[in-house]
Copies of this chain bind each other. A is one copy, B any other.
Amino acid sequence: METERRLEALGLRLTPIDASYALDTSGAKFVSHLAVGELLYLSGTVPELDGETYLNGVVGDDLTLEQGYEAARYAALSSLTALKHALGDLDRVRQVVQLTGWVNSAFGFNDQPRVINGATDLLVEVFGAAGLGTRAAIGCRGLAYNASVEIVLVVRFDGGPVTDPRPTLGASR
């Protein structure tokens, strides 16, 4: 549980699975994670705090770059919640493979990379070199619940058994 201890040392804690699950009201039919061999695919996640979405809005209009960075940090934290649910122990993550970060962006806002740094900084803080994967940071128009950031992760894990995924855990509900 070393990874989780590093997370706690940063003053962050994983959203309880049930609180996260309770956010879903759309009846959407998808799962929080799915394993193929040693790759684990996650559904998109948005920023959450205390079982509520957090820092909603359009970056460059409603939110500053700094708030966008914070939002990306919490969107990545929601992905860590999904990984914890899938694997039981975050130490089972071998490598972040691919991170795609969407930023709900104002017209003319082009600092998507600095926003998504909030997510990739957190992953390296908790996983070390294993948190350093490939990345794309893209501006988009509109996200679930007016979220400001959404993160989609693919990770390599130790290949052992995974928990049955909770339907519609995570974001994009």
Chain A contacts to B: CB under 8 angstroms: 26-34, 36, 38-39, 41-44, 95, 97-100, 102-110, 112-114, 116-117, 120-121, 123-124, 131-147, 150, 152, 154, 156, 167, 171-173
Contact = CB atoms under 8 A, between A and B. Distances in A.
Contacts of A113: 26, 28, 144, 172-173
Given A142-B110, A172-B137, A173-B113, A124 B29 contact: yes
Given A34-B95, A146-B110, A116 B172 contact: yes
The interface residues of chain A, by DSSP majority, are classed as mixed
A123 B30 CA distance: 10
Contact of A99 (B30, B99, B104, B135): B30
